[in-house]
Amino acid sequence: MHQFMYVKPKDITEAVRILAENGEKVRVLAGGTDLIVRMVDKIWKPEVVIDIKGLTGLSGIREIDNYGVAIGAATPLNEIIGHPLIQQHFAVLAEGAHEIGSCQIRNRATLGGNLCNASPLADTAPALLVLDAVAVVQGEEERLIPMTEFFAGPGKTILARGELLKEIRIPYLPTESKGIYYKHARTKAVDLASVGVAVLALKPGEIRIALGAVAPTPVRAKKAEAFLSGKEITTGVIKEAVALVQEEVSPITDIRATEEYRREIIAVLVRRGLYEIQKFLRGE
Amino acid sequence: MMKHRIRFTINGEVREMEVKSNQRLLDLIRNDLDLTGTKEGCAGGECGACTVLVDGKAINSCLMLAVEADGKEILTIEGLAEGMVLDPIQESFVEHGALQCGFCIPGMIMSAKALLKKNPHPSEMEIREAISGNLCRCTGYEKIIEAILNVTQKQA
Ligand SMILES: Cc1cc2nc3c(=O)[nH]c(=O)nc-3n(C[C@H](O)[C@H](O)[C@H](O)COP(=O)(O)OP(=O)(O)OC[C@H]3O[C@@H](n4cnc5c(N)ncnc54)[C@H](O)[C@@H]3O)c2cc1C
Ligand code: FES
Ligand code: FES
């Protein structure tokens, strides 16, 4: 690894100041499972590395009265997966997070790192998209950005110079719900998604769908959602919804899968998700 | 700040050392502390050969900076046996012949250690899950899983 300056700031204010002063030369270190790999491979050579783990306000899970739950950006995935509030209300996020890497990786990797790394295949992103999560961004001031607007392209977010991701807020779902995350990969463990699909249903008839690894950023399938809204989920309806999802994605060919194969898998996973949702909405 | 003084516990012993910012925990363990039981396979979080416990949790020491160990408690494969008495997990690996070349074994045992600390009686699925980040090119995993299952049955 190249030489760099390692800094452990005392609080968020200091972290934000260092980020603002150093611009392109600085990188945030959370779990390091993306950052250290890229530094070892000499893809990234930041002059300053700023370790945000353990800063007050950046770690842990808390309930926000009359709203939902806030997850600190630097909270390790394993802590999120096992947390009772997440298990009880947002199991689909736990499913997504559980798909990441191995036990060792999840003990270090953080939610904020997964999102700020902004890979189109980030396994926590589809769940957060269907949950209508909100990113709390901290710079000189704080701003709230809906997850649907957080990603700007492969490896890019809307974070500006001098900003970091502070926490993710997820509103409680207003009615009885069911969420599912499917990941398709080449091997069962420690592989990246070729396609990821999250489906969420809210009684009586709202359905949300989000996908990873099928476009430059993780995406919501808004056209399919609008079409499905309030409809009885029949085989015909599912077929039409799958066709609409295909219009909203733009998969590419890469080392994990070809575009054509991705389109097949998208159809299979969306269909599978909607049949599960059909059972749920029918009370089966 | 390219150099840092850190204080940590390794295998029960408190140490204070100077480390470089670009040194990995794996380098500190193998090169500076001469604890070469921890292996380097892929250097990218994929193989688990470098697994150690930090504050009781299994992590890949190739993906952690040495400076991040400040204030932490580290356990490596060398810290398991007490004198000539092996840890029950090591004992069970020997009994089951759950190894061939041995390269993956320190990592496997550390993953098993983390699992059994948290969950003394895991199911076979839980064992498979716990070692899913540890690659073995030799054994086919079956004997490793049997060995870990057997530790828990003995203690039951
Ligand atoms: C073997 C292996 C397997 C993996 N498998 C998967 C997988 O299956 N699915 C998947 O989605 N990912 C996978 N990953 C990628 C990685 O583990 C995840 O993206 C992880 O969540 C990153 O979190 P981190 O805390 O380690 O991030 P870091 O490496 O610390 O940071 C990642 C990036 O985000 C920035 N950053 C981090 N936190 C913040 C913040 N709060 N504010 C602003 N910027 C920030 C960093 O500067 C860096 O650019 C894998 C990685 C490895 C090594
Ligand atoms: S050497 Fe660390 S996971 Fe392979
Ligand atoms: S025993 Fe050779 S790699 Fe596992």
Contact call for B58 and A33, based on CB within 8 A: no
Token code pair at residue A157: 């977010």
pLDDT tens, residue by residue, A71-101: 999 999 999 999 999 999 999 999 999 999 9
Token code pair at residue A117: 């790394």
3-state secondary structure of B79: helix
Q: Tell whether A161 and A200 lie within a shared domain.
A: no
Give the per-residue pLDDT at B15: 98
Q: Tell whether A75 and A166 lie within a shared domain.
A: yes
A1 in B contact zone (CB under 8 Å): yes
Pick out chain A residues at pLDDT < 70. Answer: none
Give the per-residue pLDDT at A30: 98
Residues of chain B with C-beta less than 8 angstroms from the C-beta of A107: 57-59
Token code pair at residue A7: 């800094």
Residue A56 lies in a domain: no
Q: Tell whether A157 and A85 lie within a shared domain.
A: yes
Domain that holds residue A37: 5-51
Return the CATH number at A107: 3.30.465.10
**Residue A7 contacts by C-beta under 8 Å, 6 or more apart in sequence?**
A18, A48, A49, A50, A51, B1
Q: Tell whether A202 and A269 lie within a shared domain.
A: yes
Burial group, residue A126, by CB count within 10 angstroms (0-12, 13-18, 19+): buried
- By most ligand atoms within 8 Å of CB, the mutation choice from B139, B142, B143, B144 for ligand 3 is B139
Quick check: CB of B103 below 6 Å from ligand 3? yes
Residue A260 lies in a domain: yes
**Residue A211 contacts by C-beta under 8 Å, 6 or more apart in sequence?**
A126, A195, A196, A197, A198, A218, A219, A221, A245, A249, A266, A270
Residue A145 lies in a domain: yes
Residue A66 lies in a domain: yes
**Residue A97 contacts by C-beta under 8 Å, 6 or more apart in sequence?**
A77, A80, A81, A106, A111, A114, A123, A124, A127
Contact call for A107 and B24, based on CB within 8 A: no
Quick check: CB of B137 below 6 Å from ligand 3? yes
Q: Is the dihedral of CA B93, B96, B102, B107 positive or negative?
A: negative
C-alpha dist (Å) from residue A46 to A43, A92, A110: 10, 35, 20
If phi over 0 gives left and psi between -120 and 50 gives alpha, with beta otherwise, what is residue A48?
Answer: beta
Q: Which of A154, A171, A188 is the last residue of a domain?
A: A171
Report whether A256 contacts A192 (CB < 8 A). Answer: yes
Pick out chain B residues at pLDDT < 50. Answer: none
Residue A248 lies in a domain: yes
Amino acid letter for position A187: T
Residue A88 lies in a domain: yes
Q: Tell whether A68 and A132 lie within a shared domain.
A: yes
ipTM of the complex: 0.96
Q: Which of A51, A69, A87 is the last residue of a domain?
A: A51
Quick check: CB of B139 below 6 Å from ligand 3? yes
Residue A45 lies in a domain: yes
Residue A92 C-alpha, separation from nearest chain B C-alpha, in angstroms: 19
Contact call for A29 and B65, based on CB within 8 A: yes
Amino acid letter for position A174: P
Give the per-residue pLDDT at A229: 94
- For chain A, how many structural domains are there in total? 3
Amino acid letter for position B107: G
Strand partners, A164: A138
Q: Tell whether A181 and A167 lie within a shared domain.
A: no
Share of chain A above pLDDT 70, in %: 100
Q: Tell whether A162 and A202 lie within a shared domain.
A: no
Neighbours of A139 (CB within 10 A): 16
A18 in B contact zone (CB under 8 Å): no
Angle between helix B142-155 and B88-96 (nearest 10): 130
Q: Which of A105, A273, A263, A122 is nearest to A189 (CA)?
A: A105
Residue A1 C-alpha, separation from nearest chain B C-alpha, in angstroms: 6
Q: Which of A8, A65, A2 is nearest to A39 (CA)?
A: A2
B71 in A contact zone (CB under 8 Å): no
pLDDT tens, residue by residue, A158-179: 999 999 999 999 999 999 999 9
Out of B22, B24, B58, name the one closest to residue A104 (CB). B58
For residue B5, which phi and psi values (nearest 5 degrees)?
Answer: -90, 125
A107 in B contact zone (CB under 8 Å): yes
For residue A11, which phi and psi values (nearest 5 degrees)?
Answer: -155, 180
Amino acid letter for position B45: G
Q: Tell whether A84 and A102 lie within a shared domain.
A: yes
Give the per-residue pLDDT at B152: 76
Q: Tell whether A68 and A167 lie within a shared domain.
A: yes
Q: Tell whether A270 and A246 lie within a shared domain.
A: yes
Return the CATH number at A46: 3.30.43.10
The DSSP result for chain A, as a single string, is: ----EEE--SSHHHHHHHHHHHGGGEEEESS-TTHHHHHHTTS---SEEEE-TT-TTTSSEEEETTTEEEEETT-BHHHHHT-HHHHHH-HHHHHHHHTSS-HHHHHH-BHHHHHHTT-TT-TTHHHHHHTT-EEEEESSSEEEEEGGGTEEETTEESPPTT-EEEEEEEEPPSS-EEEEEEEE-SSSSS---SEEEEEEEETTTEEEEEEESSSSS-EE-HHHHHHHTT----HHHHHHHHHHHHHH------SS--HHHHHHHHHHHHHHHHHHHHHHHTT-
Q: Could you give the CA distance from residue A18 to residue A7 in angstroms, rounded to a whole number?
A: 9
Report whether A190 contacts A266 (CB < 8 A). Answer: no
Q: Tell whether A127 and A78 lie within a shared domain.
A: yes
Report whether A246 contacts A267 (CB < 8 A). Answer: yes
Q: Tell whether A162 and A79 lie within a shared domain.
A: yes
Return the CATH number at A233: 3.30.390.50
Count CA atoms within 13 Å of residue A120 on its CB side.
Answer: 16
Q: Which of A140, A171, A202 is the last residue of a domain?
A: A171
Nearest protein Cα to ligand 1, atom 38: A113
Q: Which residue of A has its CA nearest to B49?
A: A104
**Residue B102 contacts by C-beta under 8 Å, 6 or more apart in sequence?**
none
Nearest protein Cα to ligand 1, atom 28: A32
Give the per-residue pLDDT at B120: 93
Residue A240 lies in a domain: yes
Give the per-residue pLDDT at A187: 85
Contact call for A103 and B21, based on CB within 8 A: no
Give the per-residue pLDDT at A137: 98
